[in-house]
């Protein structure tokens, strides 16, 4: 099976070493790790346009279309920052007849699988990331 990894650098996501190390543990060769740095982008309605390396990864998948392949993501939020972005990501990967592996869920999603649980987890992770950012801005939690 051809294994690829999409690593995205953003304050809401696990750090680069965690994502890269997990991808390597899953068996992704270093030359198939595609890294996008979007730490400077707070919000956008066009995440796909900001992730150039992810588009390079899709191009590489097209070269192996028809052969078993899968793309690694460390967490559901790494797949997409919003449900719409995640669905765009699924569609592009599945159009190449590849699977989508989410490490934190230990689950490989194939084109025929339902993704409702993944979308729900993205929403939960998004809210948790917003809470962490708010707490950090407030100076950490102040439990009395």
Question: Tens digits of per-residue pLDDT, 13-60?
Answer: 999 999 999 999 999 999 999 999 988 876 666 666 778 899 999 999
Distance CA 54, CA 66 (A): 20
Q: What is the dihedral of CA 26, 30, 32, 35, to 10 degrees?
A: 100
Q: Compute the Cα dihedral for 95, 16, 39, 137 and give only its sign.
A: positive
Domain coordinates in residue numbering, the chain: 2-137
β-bridge partners, 100: 71, 109
Question: Tens digits of per-residue pLDDT, 104-132?
Answer: 989 998 877 777 878 887 888 878 777 77
Q: How confident is the model at residue 142 (pLDDT cuts 50, 70, 90)?
A: low
* pTM, full prediction: 0.83
Residue 124, pLDDT score: 82
Task: Considering the domain delimited by 2-137, tell me its CATH architecture.
Answer: 3-Layer(aba) Sandwich (3.40)
Q: 61 with 93: CB under 8 angstroms? A: yes
- In this structure, the number of other CB atoms found within 10 A of the CB of residue 69 comes to 20
Q: How confident is the model at residue 144 (pLDDT cuts 50, 70, 90)?
A: very low
Query: Which class for 54: exposed (0-12), middle (13-18), buried (19 or more C-beta within 10 A)?
Result: buried
């Amino acid at each position: 099976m051809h294994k690829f990894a999409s690593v995205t650098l953003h304050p809401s996501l696990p750090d680069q070493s965690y994502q890269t190390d997990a991808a390597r543990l899953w068996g992704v060769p270093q030359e198939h790790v595609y890294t996008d740095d979007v730490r400077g982008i707070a919000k956008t309605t066009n995440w796909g346009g900001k992730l150039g390396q992810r588009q390079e990864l899709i191009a590489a998948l097209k070269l192996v279309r028809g052969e078993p392949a899968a793309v690694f993501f460390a967490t559901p939020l790494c797949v997409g920052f919003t449900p719409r972005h995640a669905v765009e990501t699924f569609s592009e990967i599945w159009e190449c007849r590849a699977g989508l592996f989410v490490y934190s869920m230990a689950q490989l999603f194939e084109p025929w699988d339902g993704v409702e649980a993944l979308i729900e987890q993205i929403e939960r992770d998004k809210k948790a990331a917003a809470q962490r950012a708010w707490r950090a801005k407030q100076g950490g939690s102040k439990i009395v």
